Amino acid sequence: MEGIFVIIGIVAVITIVSWISGIVQKCNKYDALKPRLDNLDRAERDFSTKTAQTEQKHASWLKQAEQKLAEREKQLNDREQGVLILSKQKAVGFPWLADAYADFFQLEEMKLARILETKRHPAFVAAEKVRESARRRREAERIARILKYQIEFYEDLFPWLADLKSEDIEDELIRIKAGNIEETSDDDAARKWLTPEEYAQLPSRDKYQTALDRYWTKKKSKWELGRDYERYVGWRYESQGSSVYYQGIVEGFDDLGRDLIVSNGNRVQIVQCKYWSKGKTIHEKHVFQLYGTMIAYKMDHPGKDVLGHFITSTMLSDRARQFADYLGIKVTESLALERYPCIKCNISRGDKERIYHLPFDQQYDKTIVELDRGECFVSTIAEAEDNNFRRAFRYHGAK
Please tell me the distance from the alpha carbon of residue 257 to that of residue 255, in angstroms, as a whole number.
5
Measure the CA dihedral 353/354/359/362, to 10°.
Answer: 0
Residue type, 199: Y
The DSSP line for 168-220 is: -HHHHHHHHHHHHHHHT--S-GGGGGS-HHHHHHS-HHHHHHHHHHHHHHS--
Residue 397 is predicted with a pLDDT of 41
- pLDDT category at 128 given cuts 50, 70, 90 is confident
Asked which of 25-39, 144-158, 159-173 is least confident by mean pLDDT, the reply is 159-173
Report, as an integer, the average pLDDT of 112-129.
68
- Position with higher pLDDT, 119 vs 360: 360
Residue 378 is predicted with a pLDDT of 95
Indicate whether 102 pLDDT > 70: no
φ/ψ bin of 133: left (φ > 0), alpha (ψ from -120 to 50), beta (otherwise): alpha
Indicate whether 265 pLDDT > 80: yes
Say whether 275 sits in a helix, a strand or coil.
coil
List Cα–Cα distances, 180 to 10, 86, 399, in angstroms: 139, 43, 18
Looking at CATH, the fold of the domain delimited by 194-391 is given as Trna Endonuclease; Chain: A, domain 1 (3.40.1350)
Indicate whether 287 pLDDT > 90: yes
Indicate whether 284 pLDDT > 60: yes
Report, as an integer, the average pLDDT of 9-13.
69
Number of residues assigned to the chain: 399
Please tell me the distance from the alpha carbon of residue 260 to that of residue 262, in angstroms, as a whole number.
6
Please answer whether residues 341 and 372 qualify as being in contact, where contact means their C-beta atoms are separated by less than 8 angstroms.
no
pLDDT digits (tens, 9 = 90+) for 218-254: 888 888 899 999 999 999 999 988 999 988 787 765 5
Indicate whether 13 pLDDT > 50: yes
Asked which of 38-52, 155-169, 227-241, 257-271 is least confident by mean pLDDT, the reply is 155-169
- pLDDT category at 274 given cuts 50, 70, 90 is very high
List Cα–Cα distances, 22 to 26, 128, 354, in angstroms: 6, 82, 136
Q: Is pTM beyond 0.85 here? A: no
- Position with higher pLDDT, 36 vs 177: 36
Report, as an integer, the average pLDDT of 255-267.
84
Residue 396 is predicted with a pLDDT of 43
Indicate whether 8 pLDDT > 90: no
- Position with higher pLDDT, 168 vs 336: 336
Asked which of 175-179, 250-254, 389-393 is least confident by mean pLDDT, the reply is 175-179
Most confident by average pLDDT, 18-32, 77-91, 199-213: 199-213
For the chain, the structural domain boundaries read 84-157, 194-391
Indicate whether 399 pLDDT > 50: no
Most confident by average pLDDT, 66-80, 112-126, 171-185, 316-330: 316-330
Residue 181 is predicted with a pLDDT of 40
- pLDDT category at 299 given cuts 50, 70, 90 is very high
